[in-house]
Structure 1
């Protein structure tokens, strides 16, 4: 994006979620929870509270915006800022208002009636390489279709997800009583049957955590 855009593009980072989770788990301290799955204790599944989007995406962006506006930490911001989130009309169920007082979320692609194929066409017309899906490799919201594609076509990335799945299995030192899994079946990712009866169905990513997983 920095190479192709005519407007300034800044990249901010909180660090590596997987490395941080590993470190915090080993130290027995709190960590930014991902929406992993665990047993509800009654034969069903439950999903863990999600903090990763806010801690690793929203907060770093807001912190940088404060700097650009010239404000110190915790100083009250007087301006109002529009945050344009790049989710398409296919993903309209993912829109949500900002929880930050001075930020108003906007969805220009939805306002323009653009769907994912429109975005891909527009990018192609500009001679820009088509981007890959931008959510985390180990996001529990991935569909069987995504996991299967990752396993078949990006085995190194799938191995990273498998390693992360093993990493979160025992989080008792961080307060989680039962084992956690990336897949809703509560089966280790490397053992999950990824057969999908809707193999050719286009994945519209509507189960992702929020618009920030595709900004």
Structure 2
């Protein structure tokens, strides 16, 4: 079975990679980073440092990308404004709807700019499959994911729940009666391993022990290990510059430590509204004005509150982000 480390360049996945570099975690066959092309400069600088450290241990980090999420988001908004409804993996902007309600755009960016890009890497590079070629029916790839104990709810087996309809009889008029049910769709060729949790999760949803680093680690344990073994090395929080799930404390940090990047976020926040015709982002029958910050005012005039922790959506990236990729 080939082992692949999914590298997000955040605290947890950086810890896994560096543990492997020091021989404290079995060395992966592959390490892959999926680039949205809109991460802060500190993330790219940290990634280059990780590449140097990995090279010393004979480990290569591969980078995959499906394009620039910034460019794609603005291009899509312009097309939508002209009536072209081409599909795009949307960013979950906060929206002030015309009917007075508030909401969020659907969130697809992690899935298509992170997870699907890495899945394609698994199929093409790791398994060597050609387009259209079937994947193995048995586990052939062990994916290492840096989810820690304080985020245990994010750990999932390889697969997903799908909604299907089943016939349950006939109605009074002779027509079919149906009901919806949830069906588990396993990814047969994959095992997901969570070294910081000491577990592996299998396609049939079973869970087995996989104690390779000794003990269960929290994010704080990772930070402590990094400080001890790489003193003075700061690991940034990995997320797109435009991510609406940033907490106010994270926006303040960006504004105070990297004003150029904050200015880029402000510019994007304006561009995304200007790109839609009449500033309208649409979801179903609702339409409204999109914003990067949940207060739904332009980013440069937001009164950030570092104590504001309750959030709309799925929460702060580093605490509640559900897909197991962003922020790791």
2:242 to 138, 163, 175: 138
Residue of 120, 123, 132 corresponding to 1:74? 132
More strand by share: 2
The 8 Å contact of residues 165 and 182 in structure 1, kept in 2 or not, is answered as yes
Structure 2 counterpart SS, 1:205: helix
Question: TM (normalized to structure 1)?
Answer: 0.85
Segments of structure 1 that go 5 or more residues without pairing to the other structure are none
Secondary structure of the 2:64 match is: coil
Equivalent-residue separation in structure 1 for 2:104 and 2:157 (angstroms):
22
Match for 1:45 among 97, 102, 105? 102
Displacement of 1:171 in angstroms is: 5.8
Q: Which residue of 1 aligns with 2:318?
A: 205
Query: Counterparts of 2:146 and 2:263 in 1: how far apart (Å)?
Result: 29
User: SS of 2:266's equivalent?
Assistant: helix
CA–CA distance in 2 between the matches of 1:204 and 1:136? Answer: 11
In the alignment of these two chains, the number of paired residues is 212
Greater Rg over alpha carbons, structure: 2
1:189 aligned onto 2:299: yes
TM-score by length of 2: 0.58
Give me the whole-angstrom Cα distance separating, in 2, the residues matched to 1:93 and 1:41.
36
Q: Deviations over 1:76-134 (max 9, x none)?
A: 10042222221222223333444461333332213342112211222233337332111
Structure 1 segment 13-162 matched on structure 2, within 5 A: 13-28=65-80, 29-41=86-98, 43-67=100-124, 68-78=126-136, 79-80=138-139, 81-99=141-159, 101=187, 102-111=189-198, 112-127=215-230, 129-162=233-266
Name the SS of the counterpart of 2:273 in structure 1: coil
Query: In 2, Cα distance between the equivalents of 1:59 and 1:97?
Result: 16
Q: Tell me, which stretches of 5 or more residues in structure 2 are unaligned?
A: 1-49, 81-85, 160-185, 199-214, 310-315
Are the counterparts in 2 of residues 141 and 207 from structure 1 also a CA contact under 8 Å? no
